[in-house]
Chains A and B, each alone.
Chain A
Amino acid sequence: MAAKESSDIKSSRRRFLLTSAVSATLPVVGLAAGCAAPGGLRPDDPVPPVAIASLPPSAVLPLTLRVNGSEHRVQLDARTTLLDALREALRLAGSKKGCDHGQCGACTVLIDGERVLACLTLAAQAQGRAVTTIEGLATMRGTTVGDALHPMQQAFIDNDAFQCGYCTPGQIMSAVACVTEGRTANDTEIREYMSGNLCRCAAYPNIVAAIRQAAPQMKGAR
């Protein structure tokens, strides 16, 4: 009963987040997705008179993004980062926006299997390449369709490897890559190769423990 309630709460929170993201995005679709970027508008700022007509000719780009095995055709302002495209155009809000300047790692995703920062990657640069986000991880192993967690996701739960959870999607994506890169020989190496993912709650010891747990399991799955 308690479990059911909590899952209802979770799903309604998710629905709420997605709905508000969509309603916030709708007025600017096809206009300037870059407006959503930080360094951009604050609530009280006057809206600059930027319309498609005044932008350079190729400022709105038709792109095909391949995310978690699905293709998405989108029209995006050239300024749109992969992170904003994922979160706002494709409604995949799992990748998080922390600093938006490449300093925190919260936006870490895989492109063609390698970890990168989605906040410093233009959506146009990801065109046609395989993007994997936290939402695509559970099925990445080629297991039966469903909600079977990736060993790294399970290891983060088992080891209590987060408190607030905001950095967690980035931590997990980075951790998966850390294992596939073979950088888990010891705790020092794990820490060095996870240093691009900051955790303000300082769950670091548990994150290291989670990676230690998942690493051999991932080898088995491959």
Chain B
Amino acid sequence: MKPFAYTAAADVPSAVNAALRSAPPRQDGVDDGALTLAPVQFLGGGTTLIDLMKLDVMRPTTLVDISRLDEPGLRSVQMSAEGLRIGALATMRQVADDAAVRRYYPVLSQSLWLAASQQIRNMAFVGGNVLQRTRCSYFRDTSWPCNKREPGSGCSALEGVNRWHAVLGTSEQCIASYPGDWATALVALDATVETVGPGGLRRFRFAELHRLPGSTPHIETQLQPGELITSFNVPAGPYTRRSLYLKVRDRASYEFALASAAVALQMDGATVREVRIGLGGPVAVPWRAREAEALLTGKVLNEASATEAARAAFAGARTREHNAFRVPLSQQTLVRALLQAQTMEMAA
């Protein structure tokens, strides 16, 4: 691990200031949006960052520890008629176990407790969770070329072992998959993000947080240096109670998704009044399946209509040597998730 300076921030403004103060002016011509290569990193639970620093994949020169920040709202989950407000420094476990989330937004709770292990869920904050890095083995091993880690060096996964790689949202420069579950549920439910940064407070749609790899896979989000996620807002809707997260993996627990689906349904008898679908697994960024939603809306939900929607969701899939099986697997996962959500019994 490279040496770094360690600063514990007392509050959000000082965390942002510390990050800006420590960031030297860019001389390498790398886009400012390349936060992942930035010399200053916020340290939350550390479950991604410390891991990647040990691997020499991330090499910050300054860590600004935000794990003890305790401003109002930063660690709480609040439910109102408008929806949920979840502080970025709530832990994964805290949100997974929250009674209101479990009852009224089950997909959010499930996406968290089906992820990682209880130890990691105790450590990791939901704000940092959405910024977790890909599990691409070429990204994690510095002996391989990787456009995400070293812009312009090439992508080893294109012709390599790419079973774990994405089929949706990829580019010729990068086929890494986004590994998170929570973000899949957030994108399905139209969440928004609040940040505090050099420009003050900012609020935008969660779906706009992550950037497609395109020709700049090292730029993963639209966050600017010194910008800190402070909360998520999830709007209320008649579909959030009939929602679930279905995750298919190589082993039953403590594993990343081979395929996953976050679905939320509002039914009118057998007919779909409203549906939200997020897809995880072989996706480059948290994925919203709008084509599938459009096909299902107003239709009778059954295996045939769900299958048709699932086909549409992966119409643009671009498979490689080892990951083609994830298209049918993902389609079947989505079909099962939809049919399972349809049969959910709503408690009063």
Contact = CB atoms under 8 A, between A and B. Distances in A.
A217 interface: no
A80 to B, nearest CB: 10
A178 B56 CA distance: 33
A66 interface: no
Interface in B247-300: 252-254
B312 interface: no
A168 interface: no
Contacts of A34: 1, 3
Given A34-B3, A50-B3, A115-B118, 9 more contacts: A38-B54, A58-B7, A78-B5, A100-B54, A101-B51, A121-B50, A124-B8, A178-B118, A191-B253
A181 B113 CA distance: 14
Nearest to B46: A120
A196 B254 contact: yes
Contacts of B51: 101-102, 120
B114 to A, nearest CB: 9
Contacts of A197: 117
A40 B1 contact: yes
Given A174-B118, A193-B118, A196-B254, A120 B4 contact: no
Interface in A1-43: 32, 34, 37-40
A193 B86 CA distance: 24
Contacts of B61: 56
B43 interface: yes
A56 B46 contact: no
A117 B120 contact: yes
Contacts of A79: 1, 3-4
Interface of A: 32, 34, 37-40, 50, 54-59, 61, 77-79, 81, 100-102, 105, 108, 114-117, 120-122, 124-125, 174, 177-178, 181, 183, 191-193, 195-197
Contacts of A121: 46, 50, 123
A183 B46 CA distance: 25
B56 A81 contact: no
A55 B122 contact: no
The 10 closest A-B pairs by CB, nearest first: A196-B117, A195-B253, A56-B5, A195-B254, A78-B6, A55-B3, A39-B54, A120-B50, A114-B122, A79-B1
Contacts of A192: 252-253
A105 to B, nearest CB: 6
A120 B123 contact: yes
A122 B7 contact: no
Interface hub of A116, A124, A174 (most chain B Cβ within 10 A): A116
B4 A125 contact: no
Given A117-B47, A120-B50, A120-B51, A105 B119 contact: yes
B307 to A, nearest CB: 30
A190 to B, nearest CB: 11
Contacts of B45: 120
Contact of B5 (A39, A58, A177): A58
A195 to B, nearest CB: 4
B46 A195 contact: no
B1 A125 contact: no
B1 A124 contact: no
A59 B3 contact: yes
Contacts of B67: 125
A124 B65 contact: yes
B54 A125 contact: no
B62 interface: yes
Given A58-B6, A78-B5, A174 B119 contact: yes
A125 B65 contact: yes
A114 B120 CA distance: 11
A40 to B, nearest CB: 7
A195 B117 CA distance: 6
Given A115-B119, A121-B123, A196-B254, A56 B43 contact: no
B1 A37 contact: yes
A165 B118 CA distance: 21
Contacts of A177: 118
Contacts of B5: 56-59, 78
B24 to A, nearest CB: 12
Contact of A117 (B7, B56, B119, B252): B119
A53 B6 CA distance: 16
A145 B51 CA distance: 38
A101 B120 CA distance: 11
Nearest to B2: A79
A108 B252 CA distance: 21
A115 B3 contact: no
